[in-house]
Chains A and B, each alone.
Chain A
Amino acid sequence: MTDVDVIVVGGGPAGSCAAITAARAGLDVVLIERGPFPGSKNMYGGVVYPRILDGLIPNWWEEAPVQRWVTRRSTMLLTPTQALTVDFRSQAWGAPPYNGATAYRPDWDHWLAGHAEAAGAQLITSTVVTGLLRAPSGAVTGVRTDRPDGDLTAKVVIACDGVNSFLAKEAGLYEHTDAKHFTLGVKETLALPKEVIDERFAVRDNHGVDIEILGGTGGVNGGGFLYTNLETLAIGVVLKLTKLGAQKARPEEIIAGLKRHPAIAPLVQDGELKEYSAHVIPEAGLTMMPKMIADGLLVAGDAAALCLAAGIWLEGVNFAMASGMYAGEAAAEAVRAGDLTAVGLAGYQRRLSDTFVLKDHRRLKRAPELVLSDRVQHLYPQMIANVAERMFRVDNPDPKPGLRRILAQERKRAGVRRRDLARDGWIGFRSFG
């Protein structure tokens, strides 16, 4: 006899969604959060794509703690003195069912955990899960916590303990951990009056902007972002861990450099720093994913490296919510069937494979590496910006050069080999096409 049916470790989006589906299936569920409230340890850039909640929380948009609905999506390419932006707007994204939204994670995660409680899960905060309880067979039978007499047994443990997932590692589900698969995200939340944000970003009401930036991170491979909240901006950079130390560049200095860029400075000027924050991101997709199922154990969210960092698509919370949902459903299935082994829990793998969770990752399996590669990071932005500059420059009395000639010249000038360009273009086309 176990203490409960399911223990969910971690009150982030994966954990709360796992608790919701397991509790709604009639199971006795405990959701354990190490912070003082769900979301207190959690930080991201700032945009969530919540459509996966349509079935779980109908009309979620009427209650979700959203800052602004993203109706303007920009992709920006920066060199030290140039900027090329592709800017898209859609009014459709400002009405139900919406597309992306900016939100504070402590708000978002706290809200989702409320739904887990409403579904009947018991939320225990300020409690660290310090390890797994195992049967002699190796099967997971519960968790140890930092509470006195804090062992708790369950039929299934769902590890949603985040990017550092010591539980998945303890269970031997990660073959190894390699720094090159991770990035560090650092962010500044800058306060500005709503009218100033509306005016600078050309939006009204609760509509907002999502700007993804390639370049602007100094010599460190990575990317930047700038998002509008209601009365703050979120500006930050995502930095490849192995390049950060090697380049001797500090994270806050790299943000400062981005904020000084002539294309960014006017947007963030006079913003008062409300909060500086940091978090590690599992960036390598399929390459780094662990096994997600063991006897008595499922792994979801960042703990399973379910984060999509593919340049034009930067998603994580949706993958966390979906994988959590499916883990909760699969746990309920296994408990009902009385088979708590990896075989009994295989419904989780099936659900991940049949949906965007693994389909997107399979399609984009080579994208994270391509996006963070030296050529995409350091050579192509300069080449593309120079092509744009020459296209738009009026060099009279010289006549206009043809695009083909400009492309050939700028490719050579940037030191890009035709073969590499063709190869990267092919990988890009295979991934994104």
Chain B
Amino acid sequence: MSDTARGGMLEPHAWGGLSFQERMATAEFRIHHTPHIVVDGRVCADCSTRECVVACPAALFVPTAEGGIVFNHEQCFECGTCYLVCNREGAITWSYPEGGHGVVFRRT
């Protein structure tokens, strides 16, 4: 995701000198090209709450200037927050990444 796509309130939050990108770079993601979560921006267009934008710990839901939502699956923790807070039927189609892919938390 580009710097500008992070947009608005999410950039550049530098806590202790760390940007959000640097924060996300500390977690390992084995990215699969097929998105395991699909967001239907048309359903989101008239959503006024947009809790996914605030709640997603990886900040993967980004509002666009046109009033839609852009979603990128690559740095997803697969936690489930987005579909749980979403109140729009059909906006988020949620599944797990292909076996062996997605987030890999570290061993010592």
A binds B: yes
Which residues of B18-59 have CB atoms within 8 Å of chain A's CB atoms? 18, 20, 22-24, 26-27, 30, 49-52, 54-55, 57-59
Taking CB as reference atom, which chain A residue is nearest B30? A36
- Asked whether, in the complex, the Cβ of B26 is within 8 Å of the Cβ of A276, the reply is yes
A89 contacts chain B at the CB level, 8 A cutoff: no
- Asked whether, in the complex, the Cβ of A278 is within 8 Å of the Cβ of B105, the reply is no
- Asked whether, in the complex, the Cβ of B27 is within 8 Å of the Cβ of A277, the reply is yes
List the one stretch of A72-80, A245-253, A321-329, A392-400 in contact with chain B: A245-253
A244-B107 contact, Cβ under 8 Å, with A36-B100, A128-B96: no
A275-B20 contact, Cβ under 8 Å, with A146-B99, A179-B85, A252-B15: no
Q: Nearest chain B CB to A65's CB is how many angstroms away?
A: 7
Which residues of B61-83 have CB atoms within 8 Å of chain A's CB atoms? 77-81
- Asked whether, in the complex, the Cβ of B105 is within 8 Å of the Cβ of A40, the reply is yes
Taking CB as reference atom, which chain A residue is nearest B106? A275
Interface size class of B (residues with CB under 8 A): 35 or more
A 130-167 binary contact with B (CB < 8 Å = 1; else 0): 10000000000000011100000000000000011010
* Chain A residues with CB under 8 A of B100: 34-36, 125-127
B13 contacts chain A at the CB level, 8 A cutoff: yes
> Looking at the complex, which one of B9, B13, B18, B85 makes contact with A241 (CB distance below 8 Å)?
B85
**Complex-state Cα separation, A241 to B16, whole angstroms:** 26
A367 contacts chain B at the CB level, 8 A cutoff: no
* Chain B residues with CB under 8 A of A246: 51
A99 contacts chain B at the CB level, 8 A cutoff: no
Q: Nearest chain A CB to B16's CB is how many angstroms away?
A: 8
Taking CB as reference atom, which chain A residue is nearest B83? A164
List the one stretch of A47-55, A105-113, A210-218, A341-349 in contact with chain B: A105-113
* Chain B residues with CB under 8 A of A248: 54
A 274-305 binary contact with B (CB < 8 Å = 1; else 0): 11111110000000000000000000000000
A206 contacts chain B at the CB level, 8 A cutoff: no
**Complex-state Cα separation, A186 to B85, whole angstroms:** 16
Q: Nearest chain B CB to A255's CB is how many angstroms away?
A: 8
- Asked whether, in the complex, the Cβ of B27 is within 8 Å of the Cβ of A244, the reply is no
* Chain A residues with CB under 8 A of B81: 184, 241, 278, 280
**Complex-state Cα separation, A424 to B103, whole angstroms:** 41
* Chain A residues with CB under 8 A of B54: 244-245, 247-250
B1 contacts chain A at the CB level, 8 A cutoff: no
Interchain residue pairs with CB less than 8 A apart (5): A166-B95, A245-B50, A246-B51, A247-B54, A277-B105
Q: Give 20 A-B pairs besides A241-B81, A278-B58 with Cβ atoms closer than 8 angstroms.
A: A36-B104, A39-B105, A39-B107, A40-B105, A105-B105, A125-B99, A126-B100, A128-B99, A182-B80, A184-B55, A184-B79, A250-B10, A252-B15, A256-B15, A273-B23, A276-B27, A277-B105, A280-B80, A280-B81, A280-B84
